[in-house]
Structure formats: C-alpha cells, structure tokens
Amino acid sequence: MKKQFFTLLFTAISSLALAQKPSPELLNPTNHALVLIDHEGQMAFATKSVDPIQLRNNTGLIAGASKIFNVATVVTTVAEKSFSGPVFPEILEFYPTTSQYIDRTTMNTWEDVNAHKAITGKGKKKIVLAGLWTSVCIVGPALSAINEGYEVYVITDACGDISAEAHNQAITRMVQAGAKPMTALQYLLELQRDWARKETYVPVNDLAQRFGGGYGIGIQYAREMLKH
C-alpha cells in the first residue's frame, strides 16, 4: 500500500513537471537566428500583398523583439547602393550599424557565401525568415535551409510580394516543404511567453503599443485607464 502511494505521488509530480515543459517547436530567445532580408525601398515599392504601413509596423515588431531579447540576427540587403536602397527606418532604428549588414547580388540569400556563413555561423538549428519578396527572396533561403536540415519559420506578415497570389503561393510552397508560418505579433509574444519575466515586460509592451495596431492601442488604454 505504501509503495502504491509513493508510485502515485511520483506519477503526479512527474505529470506536473511535464505539463510545465514547453514544446520544442516554440521559439525562445536563444534557440534560433532571425534573418531580415531585403526590407528596402525599391523592393517595397512594388509590394502589393500587404499595406506598406502594416508591413513597416510588422517589421518594426520583429526587429524590436529581436533587439529586446538579444536574438542572433542577420540583416541582409540586395544591391543596396546601386538599386534597392536603404532598409526600412524600423530596422535602422534597432540595427543602426549598417556596416554589419550583408549586401548581396544573389536573389537567394543562401547562395551568397558571406550571408550563408553569417547565418549558419550563429549555430542555431532554427532559422526565422522575413523579407521581400516572399516568392523569391524568402522561398530561396527557406527551401535551401530546409534542405540542409534546418527548421525554418517564416513571419508571413513581415513578408510581401507583387501580388497576393504571389505571396500566398510562396507561403504554400514553403509550408509544403516543411516551413512553419507565423506572424510578427506572435513572434514577439512567443519570445516573452510569460508576463512574469519582468526584465522584458515593459520593453515588450512599449514595442507592442508602438507597432501593434489595435493591440497596441489596448495597451495604451489599459495603462492610462486601468493604471496597469
């Protein structure tokens, strides 16, 4: 009887411990690298699948999130000086050292030696991608990274393309190959995960208030009206 009691107790404790263990599918600040690809003016001009304001806000969310949580991040551009122009101000704000950006001629980031070295050199098996355009500059590295055994996540609303059809078919193609789609706000909140993490609580809410649309307005309201 005593042995049965301790067996049941051990099982209960084990169940509680297992219930508190998050899925390895979830992102955390240290288990992935974020790659921001070609969020540049010339690439944005022809982007029609997402409103440019929303695109900039979503890019601000993920760039800010990566900075708050010190995520291993690579910013890469294509023909920055000769054609595509500078990256969005929302990236420059959080990553102002443009000398660390990797400029390419290749449409597929994975085929650029310096970019590939920078990304794989982070030593992360999970890679999160966002950029312009979805059907070219995101599909290329996504499929290439998956082929090399990496787990790939795509922040779909921080990507865009010349049409909704082009964007949607690109997402479908990547998902069929094993990529995992997510959104910018989801990325931010998945990194925070627990509001008891006080060291990032205020910065995360500040970022969401600024770039999080209706959710951000809700934070402003709660802070003022509820004194929360």
Residues annotated catalytic, as ranges:
137
Element (H, E) at 36: strand 32-37
Alpha helices for 25-181 (secondary structure H): 41-45, 52-68, 89-94, 113-120, 139-147, 164-177
Beta partners for residue 40, in sequence order: 87
The CA distance from 52 to 40, in Å, is 12
The CA distance from 33 to 57, in Å, is 20
Of the candidates 89, 85, 73, 91, which has an alpha carbon nearest to the alpha carbon of residue 43?
Answer: 85
The CA distance from 53 to 1, in Å, is 67
